[in-house]
Structure 1
Amino acid sequence: MRSSKPVTVTLGEMQEQVEARIRSGTYASVSEVVRAGLRALEREEAAIEAVLRRKVQEALDDPGQPIPADQVFADLRAHHAGRLKVHKDGV
């Protein structure tokens, strides 16, 4: 008895990429390509999570003075206002 359930997916423009991998012999089936893609996605997500955790820890470990939230938001508003001005002026 099967432990997994068949799934139908529409690959659209990616169909040719999948077929090329099968023709090259790198993979034996569409299922193998999809499983490899999911494993790659898991690795990518794990890497991003590790980077984010490291960045958060670095921020928590930073001995510098914290920046008040109102100052951070004021700086962000000024930054975005400047970007909007540049966009509107076409510069």
Structure 2
Amino acid sequence: MNKHTTLSLDDHSAEFIEQQIDGGNFASASEVVAAGLKLLEKRQAYVEAVRAALIEGEESGEPQPFDLQEFLAEMHLEHAK
């Protein structure tokens, strides 16, 4: 379902939309705005995922020592089978 909304744009934004239409990237201002909103939604989802991962990491406790050489040796043995 489409909803008609009126937006007020600054000169820069209006010019950018016109450039996108004139350049053949989009057929209408609505398409430009929809594409921008889709990118914003993806960005917000990414930011939320990063925040959740940070919280999970903080709540997982103190970091444990990590020996890269030992890890690589274990992986080599495991995958050599």
User: TM-score when scaled to structure 1?
Assistant: 0.64
Which of 5, 9, 16 is the aligned partner of 2:3? 5
Match of 2:76 in 1: none
Runs (5+) with no aligned partner, structure 2 = 64-81
1:26-37 aligned at under 5 Å gives the runs 26-37=25-36
Following the alignment from structure 2 to structure 1, what is the Cα–Cα distance between the partners of residues 39 and 25?
A: 15
Number of residue pairs matched by the alignment: 62
Give the Å deviation of 1:10: 1.0
Residue by residue over 1:54-75, the C-alpha shift from the partner in whole angstroms, topping out at 9 and shown as x without a partner, is 00000000226xxxxxxxxxxx
**Runs of 4+ that moved beyond 2 A:** none
Match of 2:59 in 1: 60
Runs (5+) with no aligned partner, structure 1 = 65-91
Following the alignment from structure 2 to structure 1, what is the Cα–Cα distance between the partners of residues 27 and 6?
A: 18
Identify which of structures 1 and 2 has the higher relative contact order when contacts are C-alpha pairs closer than 8 Å and 6+ apart.
Answer: 2
Residue by residue over 1:24-64, the C-alpha shift from the partner in whole angstroms, topping out at 9 and shown as x without a partner, is 00000000000001000000000000000000000000226
Percent identical residues: 35
Give the RMSD, CA atoms, in angstroms: 1.1
